[in-house]
Structure 1
Amino acid sequence: MSEFNRRELIRIAEEMNGMSNDETRQFITRIIDDLSNLKPSIAFVGQIKAGKSRLINGFTGQPEYLPSDVNPWTTVITDMHFGHPSGRTSGAEFHFFDNRQWQALIAEGEELRNMFPDEEDSYKREMIEEQVEAMKTRAQLRLGDSYEQLLGQHHDLEELTSDDLARYVCAGDDPTEEGEHDPGSDRGLYSDITRKAEVYFDIGHFPYPLTVTDTPGVNDPLLIREEISRQYLKESDFFVVVLSAHQALSRADLKLFRLMQALELGQIVVFINRVDELGDGAMDAAKVRADVQDGLERALGNSDIDVLMGSAQWAHYALTGDETGISHDSILAWLRAHPEQMKQYLEGVEEIKQGPGPISREAVLRFAAMIASGLPDLRRHVTQALTNGPRNEQMRMAWQHLNSFAQGELERSTARLRALAAEESPDANDADESNKLLSDLRALVAEKTEAITSDMDDVLSNLRGVMDDTVAEAVSTVVRGPDGTSPLLAKNGETEMNFTPLRERMRELVQGATQVVRQRMLSELYAIDLQSNAALRALPGWQEPVDNRMNTSAVRWFRPDMTALTRGITVELRVTWLSRLISRKSVVSRAERMIVQEFEMIGDDLIDTARGDLAERLQTVVDHYLALLAGHLEHRVGPDGTNPHTEAQRAVDQARRITDELSTALGPVPADNLQAEAAE
């Protein structure tokens, strides 16, 4: 769905608020807020020197924004907002670390490292701690007395220059090295305490508002940069993994992919950059692409990750005219080897020719470079995937709710008009009866909701017991060893223990229990719907609305959040230290207790998160249904006025117009979807 669809839904929802009762208005306001803040994010990740910054410049159409010289960035995550919901289109905000965030950076990094440990991880924590301390020292030397006051604060600049950017995100001279630091330079002044940069642009050539994020490189000699990149993985909706054609899918790349797979991050595309530097051009690039696809298949199993190719250097030339390192013959050869891109090029040239004035040779060459760069293909791939993914689902849910309210309003106003025409308007007794029924139905829904919640708590309480037993048994098997020989007491000092099967079993238990809760919720909600409709039909002169079915989408589409399963077990890194302080005989039992405790906390987090999410979704369904009921009943007594028939006709016309606009904004839900929903 396009940006036009989103804006239309917001406009229609705001108009609907003017004709809604208080309960409905509250719900529609939530829909408006959700649609207004619908802004997917795209993170570019990959190794240093893969050409990531220049690729982002081409992707966003900001050719000179991110410096692409050797290692200019510090530890800064940079969010580039295009068409931000706030309406802001210029300037930037720079957010500074505080001591708590620095410490969390170290702790969370340890959890991620423990997911896929290697021989280097044993010393990484110590190095990262040293690097954080070095950052603090440099910042104190640069900032002096203002250092403490700046921690945890942020700077907001209405306009942003390259010099401003350099002060916050570029490394600058190291003030701890004599002879290397220029005291008069403010380059890098705030860089060591800057946690994140947010920069604002207009929507540019993107079809809807989104955020493009530049992350520090993985496999960076400065480990703190790698840590920040890995930890930011959970913050984005879509990921472009940038590989260099010279060293595609290295060991570090594979480790990144496995981590992303374990974190269940969702949509990913691979972009192999720097194909312009390959000796045999398209032929070599095809081999590299095939090797990457085979490597992903071997490493990740049934991988369906798309692999695109191109050159950020070609895109840079296309945007700036800088011909440094550009071979026009190579660009044209690349297009000839890729028929789809050649077609785009030829069609684009024909379009350019239709424009005013003569077409220059340079314009054609730069257009060819842009098509060959692969950036237009990458933009289309990413925006289409976001459109068809979570963004589409959120807009579809919003449309369903709005359409439900609009159809109900149309039915109610039509029924009111018919009643007036037949001079059968309900009297005060009907109003009292309607108000009493609404009160009774609210009480019914509240009672049933409490029962549903109680049943959910029973299921999840049983899950806690099963989870604790599973954890205790699995940890004991791993720590004590399947043959009775604990790996903690191995002569070679190896302490690595494999808890992957336990994590998978915990995942299965949570998914199974929440599926039971979800089905029971749907069954009880269906019973509420039937009982409420029976009571409504008993009202004198009741007209059956077309939208009277409860919308249970929020519950039906629930899937448990498994993020807690990615948490590492820190005791694994402390075993060697423990063994020096206590007897070897007690190492096993003590380590077992500590590991069990940590896995039990992971299990508790999984269950608590699932309960909170389910309860919130249940409340969404209930709030929506109560708003519908209130709307059904409020018009059974017409307002006092000199011409109630005119008022009723106006209400019908307005409701019909809104339903028509909603149909145009998105289109009706396909009949097979409605049947599938009813079956559930």
Structure 2
Amino acid sequence: MKMEELANEGEAATTHAAQPDFMRLGLEKLDAFRDEVADLEATLADVVKLGGPDVEKKSSRLIKQLNAFEPSITMIGQIKAGKTSLVNAMVGRPDLLPADVNPWTSVVTSLHLNAPIAEDAPTASFQFFSQDEWDHLVENGGRIGELSSRAGADEELEKVRKQIAEMREKTKARLGRKFELLLGQKHNYAELNDDLMQRYVCMGDDFEDLEEEDQQGRFADITKSADLYLDTDALPMPICIRDTPGVNDTFMMREQITINALRDSRICVVVLSAHQALSSMDMGLIRLISNVKAREVIIFVNRIDELSDPANQVPEIRDSIMQTLADNSGPENPEVIFGSAYWANVALSPELDEIVSDSAEALYNWAEAALSAEAAEMGTHELVWHLSGMPQLYAALSERIAEGPGAETLAAARKKALNLVSGVRASNEMISMRLEGDEVSVMSREALSSHLDKLEADNLKRLNDKLDIVFQQFGSRVDQSHKRFLDRALESLLQHLETKGEEEIWQYSPDGLRMLLRTSYQVMRRNVGAACQEVYAAAAHDLEDTYRSAFGVDVTNFTITPPVPPEVPPPVTLGQTIALDLQTSWWKGWWQRRKGYRAFASGFYDLIEAETAPIVAELKDRQAAEIRSDAEKELRDFLAEQRALLEDICSKSELDFADLEDVFGIKAQQEREELFDYIFEELTHNAGAGADE
């Protein structure tokens, strides 16, 4: 069987009991959002009555896009903070993901909950590292290897190489001759079961006595990501929860994987342990979340079940977290929720008497501080669920989804629906004029196509010309900030050497560079949005003129609404570890190997320039290219939709009079006008409300 084909179709799926009603606590905002989607779907069904089969296809496509909306939430956090146990509780399946995995594991697991998928699509898919990614790790030692090599830290580099050699030998022992063939491949499965998770996500060491396909962790070394598709009764809509492997590991592979996951999500949940809260070891976490909008960061402090006195300790921990964030330029006033994944999973189990005694005492202690009078109406399982913090977490997530990506998705869909109605109405007006015997002058199909080709080319050029200016200005600011940082750091180093000599190791934070680059990025983001709005509005105006010139129709309430500029992703790459962040043994070794001020100066400048250049290039080149591509795609899609509507009107103008009268009778036309007015008013009102929000 080929790698890409569905495998193990006969395996039994992991079963789970019906989820309790209390899992719906906190999801009210998502319920309301789903109701709004249903209302829009009903309005689109009315649009179908007005436009016939062609409009039905367009309406169906728009409804399909609405139903496929899947906001993603990325979970990041400290290792051993109980992040995976929390994810299991969120989906109501305590044993779904293995919570106690070997620290080697670097798999991003995406749980697609209630996502609409094709009947023959896999429910579990595992992607392996590519040959290039594996070579980078094995040959260079990943980011730590690169950094150590640049710094001349031979001892550190040798440690890294030794660890990687051990990993490589174990991997080859597991996979044998298949190893090279597996890289870059994907394994798909029709059914999800516990054995799959053990095989692809959990590490294991004892392979000699096991059958080949039963080996735990057989593919874990080379598995990069897992996509699992599950139905969850409690959720009223699709959601994707991404469980990341953390940010601290020997080769910084996890850090890069987590950065990529954050870039693809609008909402981030940072999971901390109540025992650790935020310590100096978590600067990597703070750096990452500092580059995400504060509103889109939720901090969940887990494992309060292990505190001796949570009622009094929780306020102290909260104060400590907020102070640490303030001291280290973290997000301002993020929402902080305290809870226990352990309690949540206990609440989901049939019996509560298995809870350990210390945890039970902590539960009673926390109940006195956290429960209100309304708790008297709750059953025991629901009480434990409430104390676990899960309803508060889902309430925070629901609010951010509904008010953020959800509101944007609805606004964009309403604008598309409004444009669809405007197009159908223009078509209707032209048909009415013909039925009433008026002479209608219509642009030929060839002339219309040529005109739309030019309109698209002109507006794409207009967009790219404006974006060229935005990105050139951004690139200049970034280069200036980079050079300014290097010059200041070098000056600080030389001052240190002059005042304190070579014996005392110098420290310098790269946070100044991050702040400068973040400010430049924010300016670029605003300028991209302004450029897109201007060009999209101009394209909409050009299309309005096209309707009038192509069909000679002047329609009441006729307007073409420009699309919403695409969301510019946060610059999470700025959270990447830079050599100056690491005051470790190799840094001391680098320092001790320098001889003379000149050697310090040139060695430092080359090292930090090489370290920071990839971050600068990522922002200037790759992210800028992605932003441009998204902006272009939004414009192309908008123009393609309008082209289809205009060509549809053109085709109706070619129907002979008899066919036209059969399909669109005069009485029917009058009824359609009334429905047009109702739909236009409905969509305009809701689109305005969405924009105000």
* TM-score of the two chains, using structure 1 as the length reference: 0.76
Partner letter of residue 80 of structure 1? L
Tell me the distance in 1 between the aligned counterparts of 2:48 and 2:158: 57
Distance 2:612 2:251 in 1: 34
Deviation (angstroms), 1:512: 6.4
Which position in structure 2 is the counterpart of 1:160?
Answer: 192
Equivalent residue letter for 2:406 = R
1:604 Cα shift?
4.0
Larger deviation, residues 324-333 vs 559-568 = 559-568
1:611 matched to 2:628: yes
How far is the alpha carbon of 1:325 from its aligned partner? 0.9
Q: CA deviation at 1:205?
A: 1.0
TM-aligned CA deviation for residue 622 of structure 1: 2.8
The alpha carbon displacement at 1:61 in A equals: 0.6
C-alpha contact (below 8 Å) 1:102/1:132 kept by paired residues: no
Identity %, equivalent residues: 24
1:653-668 aligned at under 5 Å gives the runs: 668=685
Are residue 251 (structure 1) and residue 262 (structure 2) matched? no
The CA distance in 1 between the partners of 2:314 and 2:618, in whole Å, is 48
Q: Is residue 339–residue 387 contact of structure 2 (8 Å, CA) maintained in 1?
A: yes
Change (3 A) 1:59 1:140: same
Is the counterpart of residue 31 in structure 1 residue 62 in structure 2?
yes
- In 2, Cα distance between equivalents of 1:407 and 1:144: 62
Judge which range, 568-577 or 286-295, deviates more: 568-577
The Cα offsets for residues 343-387 of structure 1, whole Å up to 9 and x where unpaired, read as 2x334x4xxxxxxxxxxxxxx322221121111222232133212
CA distance in 2 between counterparts of 1:560 and 1:508 reads 11
Q: What is aligned with 1:284?
A: 313
Count residues with an aligned counterpart: 634
For the residue of structure 2 that corresponds to 1:217, the secondary structure is coil
- How far apart in 1 are the matches of 2:45 and 2:613? 50
Q: Tell me if 1:78 matches 2:109.
A: yes
The match for 1:398 among 389, 406, 413 is 413
Deviation for aligned residue 1:332 = 4.6
1:346 paired with 2:386, answer no
Task: Trace 1:185-204 onto structure 2 (pairs within 5 A).
Answer: 186-204=215-233
State how 1:281-430 maps to structure 2 within 5 Å: 281-300=310-329, 303-320=332-349, 321-322=351-352, 323-326=354-357, 330-340=362-372, 342-343=373-374, 345-347=375-377, 349=378, 364-410=379-425, 412-413=427-428, 416-417=431-432, 420=435, 424-426=436-438, 430=440
Residue 549 of structure 1 corresponds to 559
1:301 shift after superposition? 5.7
Whether contact under 8 Å (1:510, 1:607) holds in the other structure is no
Partner amino acid, structure 2, of 1:621: F
Residue 517 of structure 1: SS of its match in structure 2?
helix
1:101 maps to which of 133, 141, 148: 133
Secondary structure in 1 aligned to 2:76? strand
Identify if the C-alpha distance between structure 1 residues 220 and 416 changes in structure 2 by more than 3 Å, giving closer, same or farther: same
Tell me, yes or no, if structure 1 residue 517 matches structure 2 residue 531: yes
Q: Deviations over 1:498-550 (max 9, x none)?
A: 6336524642663465366336525633652564466368x3xx45142x322
Matched, 1:435 2:443: yes
| CA shift for structure 1 position 434 | 0.9
Residues 126 and 209 of structure 1: is their aligned pair in 2 closer, same or farther, counting only changes over 3 Å?
farther
Alignment-derived partner of residue 183 in structure 2: 151
- Asked if the contact 1:272–1:310 (Cα under 8 Å) also holds between the matched residues in 2, the reply is yes
Any unmatched runs of 5+ in structure 1?
Answer: 176-180, 350-363
Distance in 1, matches of 2:535 and 2:662, equals 43
Q: Distance in 2 between matches of 1:568 and 1:255?
A: 7
Please say if residues 278 and 284 of structure 1, whose CA atoms lie closer than 8 Å, have aligned partners that are also in contact.
Answer: yes
Change (3 A) 1:654 1:87: farther
Deviations 1:550-604 (A, max 9, x none): 211334x665875676778899999979999xx9597699789979986467434
Alpha-carbon spacing, 1:459–1:418, altered in 2? closer, same or farther (3 Å): closer
Which residue of 79, 82, 105 corresponds with 1:48? 79
Cα 1:269–1:339 change in 2 (3 A) is same
Q: TM-score, normalised by structure 2?
A: 0.75
Q: 3-state DSSP class of the match of 1:192?
A: coil
SS of equivalent to 1:553 = coil
Cα distance change, pair 108–406 in 1 and its aligned pair in 2 (3 A): farther
Deviation for aligned residue 1:658 = 9.0
Q: Does the 8 Å contact 2:267/2:297 carry over to 1?
A: yes
CA distance in 2, matches of 1:387, 1:568: 33
Q: Say if 2:311 and 2:366, in contact at 8 Å, map to a contact too.
A: yes
Partner residue in 1 for 2:270: 241
